[in-house]
């Protein structure tokens, strides 16, 4: 499995960790929601859904492996343990890439309108004396937005009880080094989990 093929897999829609969270040009949007009737401290064991939403064609991707490792770290920091035989909650992931357009309004250079005597243009009489009202132009640029979902499901009831969503701009730098971005994305999501990690504050119900 060469690096070029792995990159193609990531770009085809399994971009769970492709949010530029570490040294990114834009701040990621992190949201979460949870079932406020649930006592999350009751959950002591977890496992991962099979297949995961980030798996492809019957096999586990490297993105899925990085996500599992980062999520296991976060849940174990909250006193839970991996138990594939009798999990109280199941963890699932999903991810997507979407092409977006960004419109920016910027001041445009002021230009003379029409030619007049001496080739100075109609507004040539103002040159060197004072500035004019600024003109503005719109610039449209394309960028790639990645979205990562982390689901926590009550295994007995088969009911979603917590969801973390992270959106951010994907950069080539992130594509070239997935694991740090995945770690940062998962950490950002679990900062909003109802059971706080070490030195974290609990989420308000």
**CA–CA gap between residue 28 and residue 131 (Å, rounded):** 39
Look at residue 175 in the predicted model and tell me its pLDDT: 66
Q: Which two tokens stand for residue 145?
A: 């937005």
Q: Which of 57, 34, 10, 44 is nearest to 181 (CA)?
A: 10
Per-residue pLDDT at 201 exceeds 90: no
**CA–CA gap between residue 39 and residue 11 (Å, rounded):** 38
* Domain assignment of residue 9, yes or no: no
Per the CB < 8 A criterion, the answer to whether 146 and 168 are in contact is: yes
Per the CB < 8 A criterion, the answer to whether 148 and 19 are in contact is: yes
Report whether the peptide linkage leading into residue 51 is cis, meaning its omega lies within 30 degrees of zero: yes
| Co-location of 94 and 67 in the same domain | yes
Range of the domain at 119: 103-138
Dihedral angle computed from the Cα positions of residues 9, 93, 97 and 17, in that order, rounded to the nearest 10 degrees = -70
Look at residue 199 in the predicted model and tell me its pLDDT: 65
| Co-location of 89 and 183 in the same domain | yes
CATH, residue 166: 3.30.160.670
pLDDT tens-digit series, residues 11-33: 444 444 444 443 344 567 899 99
| Co-location of 73 and 151 in the same domain | yes
Radius of gyration of the chain (CA): 25
* Domain assignment of residue 6, yes or no: no
Q: Which residue has the higher pLDDT, 8 or 40?
A: 40
Look at residue 96 in the predicted model and tell me its pLDDT: 80
* Domain assignment of residue 186, yes or no: yes
**Percent share of the chain, pLDDT over 70:** 58
Q: Which residues pair with 31 in a beta bridge?
A: 165
Look at residue 47 in the predicted model and tell me its pLDDT: 98
Q: Which residue has the higher pLDDT, 100 or 168?
A: 168
**CA–CA gap between residue 27 and residue 92 (Å, rounded):** 24
* pTM for the predicted model, two decimal places: 0.67
* Domain assignment of residue 205, yes or no: no
Look at residue 140 in the predicted model and tell me its pLDDT: 63
Look at residue 43 in the predicted model and tell me its pLDDT: 98
Q: Which two tokens stand for residue 30?
A: 């992190």
| Co-location of 39 and 83 in the same domain | yes
Look at residue 109 in the predicted model and tell me its pLDDT: 57
| Co-location of 23 and 88 in the same domain | yes
**CA–CA gap between residue 88 and residue 111 (Å, rounded):** 69
- Which letter does DSSP use for residue 122 in this model? G
Look at residue 17 in the predicted model and tell me its pLDDT: 43
* Domain assignment of residue 185, yes or no: yes
Q: Which residue has the higher pLDDT, 103 or 33?
A: 33
pLDDT classification of 122: cutoffs 50, 70, 90: low
Who's near 137: CB < 8 A, 6+ residues apart?
105, 106, 108
Average pLDDT, the chain: 76
Mean pLDDT confidence for 176-191: 88
Mean pLDDT confidence for 70-82: 97
* Domain assignment of residue 5, yes or no: no
| Co-location of 88 and 50 in the same domain | yes
Q: How many domains does the chain have?
A: 2
| Co-location of 24 and 84 in the same domain | yes
* Domain assignment of residue 44, yes or no: yes
| Co-location of 89 and 26 in the same domain | yes
| Co-location of 83 and 22 in the same domain | yes
* Domain assignment of residue 24, yes or no: yes
pLDDT tens-digit series, residues 36-58: 999 999 999 999 999 999 998 78
| Co-location of 45 and 57 in the same domain | yes
Lowest mean pLDDT among 133-142, 179-188, 189-198: 133-142
């Amino acid at each position: 499995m060469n690096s070029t093929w792995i990159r193609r897999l990531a770009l085809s829609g399994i971009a769970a960790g492709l949010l530029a969270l570490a040294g990114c040009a834009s701040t990621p949007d992190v949201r979460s929601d949870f079932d406020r009737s649930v006592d999350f401290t009751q959950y002591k064991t977890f496992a991962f859904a099979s297949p995961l939403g980030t798996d492809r064609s019957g096999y586990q991707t490297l993105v899925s492996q990085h996500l599992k490792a980062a999520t296991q770290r976060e849940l174990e920091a909250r006193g839970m343990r991996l138990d594939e035989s009798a999990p109280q909650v199941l963890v699932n992931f999903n991810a997507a890439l979407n092409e977006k357009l960004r419109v920016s309004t910027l001041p445009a250079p002021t230009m003379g309108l029409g030619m007049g005597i001496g080739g100075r243009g109609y507004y040539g009489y103002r040159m060197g004396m004072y500035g004019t009202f600024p003109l503005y132009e719109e610039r449209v640029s394309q960028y790639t937005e990645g979205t990562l979902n982390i689901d926590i499901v009550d295994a007995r009831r088969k009911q979603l009880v917590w969801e973390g969503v992270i959106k951010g701009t994907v950069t080539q730098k992130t594509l070239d080094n997935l694991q740090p971005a995945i770690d940062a994305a998962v950490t950002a999501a679990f900062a909003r989990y109802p059971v706080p990690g070490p030195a974290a504050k609990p989420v308000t119900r």
